[in-house]
Amino acid sequence: MNKTTRFFCILALCITQTFATTPQDLLKKVQDAGLKPLPEGKELQQYQNKKAQELQVGYKPLMTKEQIELGKKLFFDPRLSSSNLISCNTCHNLGLGGADIIPTAVGNKWQKNPSALNSPTVYNSLFNNIQFWDGRSHNLGDQAQGPIQNPVEMAATQDLVLQKILSMPEYVSEFKKAYGNNVKITFKLIADTIAMFEATLITPSRYDDFLRGNIKALSKQEQEGLELFIDKGCNACHNGINLGGSMQPFGVVKPYKFANVGGFKGDSNGMVKVPTLRNIAETMPYFHNGQFWDVKDAIKEMGAIQLGIEISDEEAKKIEIFFDALTGSKPQIIYPILPKNTTKTPNPVF
């Protein structure tokens, strides 16, 4: 074989390698890699109802219009905090990708999270296997109880929250409409009702359309980024419906560059919740302590500490382009008019 022939053979091989993956081939590759679309229609309703049953609320039916609307009011009501200033929406702002766009969550009396933990997005949180960075909660109802009682977050006791809700006849009436006249309003029921509203915060995207077979849903550049995402091994942790949401070891190959910021070490086994990649273009800064503002830098850091590979600037840019396709359509949320205080409503504590 002369030099000219060999050159054209090599060129042909390179072209074959570059364009070997058709959109149909990529779709199969994605499915084989464990990536799944958001459920929709009846499948989504069944999924939501199953998750609601896991709350063990004790009432039927669940996920009704009345329960969801009540949960929305509670989600937005800052009076669930001792100061009357902090609601669930404060740190999980539905207008800001379901997060707060600051490195460290700030709560009661402007206290920063003692472990410098970043607020994860509430959108699509239904599809996480666990909640909190250390995975200590297994459903959204249990998770909702934590920040309300945390002294550096909403800083309210269960009794205080109950006093506030029971002091407002409108809230009592709405609980009866949602669960029946014989309902016993408890702190757990309040948190579980918030969880049912959160279960509706789903953001389908063009990525989901692609996974369902619409190969035109993603641009050529987005498909290239998706394939690179899989080829690099990113899907080893970012998989399933939520492209995350499970517990995985962190800093597998070498330590995270900012591991000492906040000192968070994960659960007792050093495992950390994998954040969802859905809407990631809107939920900067990144990592559990919010130390990266540019997602390309976060991509390169993950390649180094988790996969032991170097991801180039060009490759990181391609993956970032794919990430843009994960930005989903948000549900329309109308800010609720909340029940008014009465003379029995406890005053705020600053």
Tens of pLDDT, residue by residue over 163-208, are 999 999 999 999 999 999 999 999 999 999 999 999 999 999 999 9
Give the model's pLDDT for residue 11.
36
Instruction: Tell me: pLDDT of 20 over 70.
Output: no
Phi, psi (degrees; rounded to nearest 5) at 247:
-95, 130
92 labelled binding-site residue: yes
pLDDT average, residue stretch 292-305: 98
Query: What string of DSSP letters covers 129-156?
Result: SSBSTT--BSSHHHHHHHHHH-TTTT--
Distance separating alpha carbons of residues 9 and 215, to the nearest angstrom: 31
Closest of 125, 122, 120 to residue 105, by C-alpha:
120
Instruction: Tell me: pLDDT of 9 over 70.
Output: no
Give the model's pLDDT for residue 19.
42
What number of residues does the chain have?
A: 350
Give the model's pLDDT for residue 17.
40
Distance separating alpha carbons of residues 315 and 1, to the nearest angstrom: 35
Other beta carbons within 10 Å of 123:
25
302 labelled binding-site residue: yes
Confidence of residue 18 (pLDDT cuts 50, 70, 90): very low
14 labelled binding-site residue: no
Fold type of domain 23-38+204-324: Cytochrome Bc1 Complex; Chain D, domain 2 (1.10.760)
For residue 255, give both structure tokens. Answer: 């330590």
Q: Is 224 a catalytic residue?
A: no
9 labelled binding-site residue: no
Residues 253 and 340 sit within 8 Å (Cβ to Cβ): no
Where exactly does CATH 1.10.760.10 map onto the chain? 23-38+204-324, 41-198
In the block, which residue shows the tokens 């049953």? 53
pLDDT average, residue stretch 248-265: 96
- Strand locations in 141-280, DSSP E? 247-249, 271-273
In the block, which residue shows the tokens 């560059």? 257
Closest of 326, 275, 245 to residue 120, by C-alpha:
275
Other beta carbons within 10 Å of 216:
9
pLDDT of 74-99, one tens digit each? 999 999 999 999 999 999 999 999 99
Closest of 33, 241, 34 to residue 129, by C-alpha:
241
Architecture of domain 41-198: Orthogonal Bundle (1.10)
Residues 174 and 67 sit within 8 Å (Cβ to Cβ): no
Give the model's pLDDT for residue 21.
76
Instruction: Tell me: pLDDT of 278 over 90.
Output: yes
Instruction: Tell me: pLDDT of 2 over 50.
Output: no
Axis crossing angle, helix 313-324 with helix 295-302, rounded to the nearest 10? 120
88 labelled binding-site residue: yes
pLDDT of 317-340, one tens digit each? 999 999 999 999 999 999 999 999
Give the model's pLDDT for residue 12.
36
Instruction: Tell me: pLDDT of 8 over 70.
Output: no
Distance separating alpha carbons of residues 180 and 328, to the nearest angstrom: 35
pLDDT of 237-256, one tens digit each? 999 999 999 999 999 999 99
pLDDT of 22-47, one tens digit each? 999 999 999 999 999 999 999 999 99
Q: Which of 69, 153, 198, 224 is catalytic?
A: 153
